[in-house]
Amino acid sequence: MATILGIVLIAFAPMLIYAFFFWSLDHHEREPWWLVSGMFLWGAIPAVALSLFGETCGLESIVLQSLGSDATADQVLSVCVAPVCEEFAKGAALIAILLFAHRQIDGVVDGLLYGALVGFGFSATEDSLYYWSTLRHEGVDAMWREWLVRSYATGLAHTIFSCCVGVAIALARDSRTQLRRVGLVLGGFAAAIVLHAGFNHPDVPITLILVGGFLFLSALAYRGLARERHMIWTELYAEVERGTLTSHEASMMGSTGRRSAHLLRVLGTRGWGAWSRLARFFRTSVELAFLKRHRRFRDDSRLTPEIHALRASIAEQRFAIAPLIRRRRPREERSGVP
């Protein structure tokens, strides 16, 4: 029992660290913990179970009956069967978000996050199974070598595959036609399956899939964060004319660095209570920007009451945080120097 728990620990620990890192990158609007943990757990348990069922009880039997149990059949299972079963099993949770929790998808960054979480969960459980098998058949030293390879290299492959579907549901969320949404989702699954099949194929360099996929998704994340930052500035500067925010407050919302630095300064000088009030004000303001963007892009007037409620909440909070966010005058002005 202790051995099994140890294997689970060394398999899940790196993936949980990676998941936390990905979650922390979404600095403009944090996703809810219940959905973040749900995506990871879906990948770790139901997705693995569904893919094993599909591989062993469905498509595998068809392949074995057609080709027999030779090397050709094993390669077909690895390249053709496993990618289809595993990517659809993982992607089912992402489709559920698109259908039932689409308000939690604010852009490509969120799609990347949800896809990565499912992939990390799947990798953690799959790695546990590999480590257990290696330990039984090859010993402790071989298991640790397997751990180094899978934790820091190939174990990230499932994340790259699932992120393809995650990006697809994010783009589908903002699409205006049903046909385009379906096409984007199917394209995301196709990309994930093709990458997975290439990864499993003996003639395709694994480094090409891992490095190329990582660089491409990193570029998408960077561009997505930049677009979110510009969107926040654009939507909140419109609130300056309404009197909801000051220009100083609006400019601060689009910069994660400025917000973080200001929060740290308040925490050090005013304490936890002041920090909590200011952090809530920042979150509410950024949420207003995203909600306005959803209403404008999807032409959804049903969001108008929520937008008015957020504006009222911001107005109420400003009285409490006004001393914490007041713009500092230049040193020359404070000292009376003309």
CB 139 within 8 A of CB 23: no
The H-assigned helical ranges of 139-156 are 140-152
Higher pLDDT, 175 or 336: 175
Distance of CA 183 to the CA centre of its chain: 21
The better pLDDT of the pair 69, 169 is held by 169
Per residue in 19-33, pLDDT (tens digit) is 999 898 887 788 889
Report the pLDDT averaged over residues 128-147.
Answer: 92
Q: What is the pLDDT of residue 156?
A: 85
Tell me what the mean pLDDT of segment 61-85 comes to: 69
Taking 3-state DSSP, the helix, strand and coil percentages for the chain, each rounded to the nearest 5, stand at 85, 0, 15
**0.85 exceeded by pTM:** yes
Which tokens in the block code for residue 75?
A: 């390669």
| Average pLDDT taken over every residue of the chain | 87
Neighbours of 316 (CB within 10 A): 11
More confident residue, 75 or 257: 257
Percent of the chain residues past pLDDT 70, beyond the cut: 90
Q: What tens digit of pLDDT does each residue of 257-285 get? A: 888 898 999 999 989 999 999 999 999 99
In contact, 253 and 236? CB cutoff 8 Å = yes
Please give the residue that has the higher pLDDT: either 334 or 103: 103
Judged against a pLDDT cut of 60, whether residue 332 lies above it is answered with no
For 32, the 3-state DSSP assignment is coil
- Residue-wise pLDDT for 217-249, tens only, equals 899 999 999 999 999 999 999 999 888 998 888
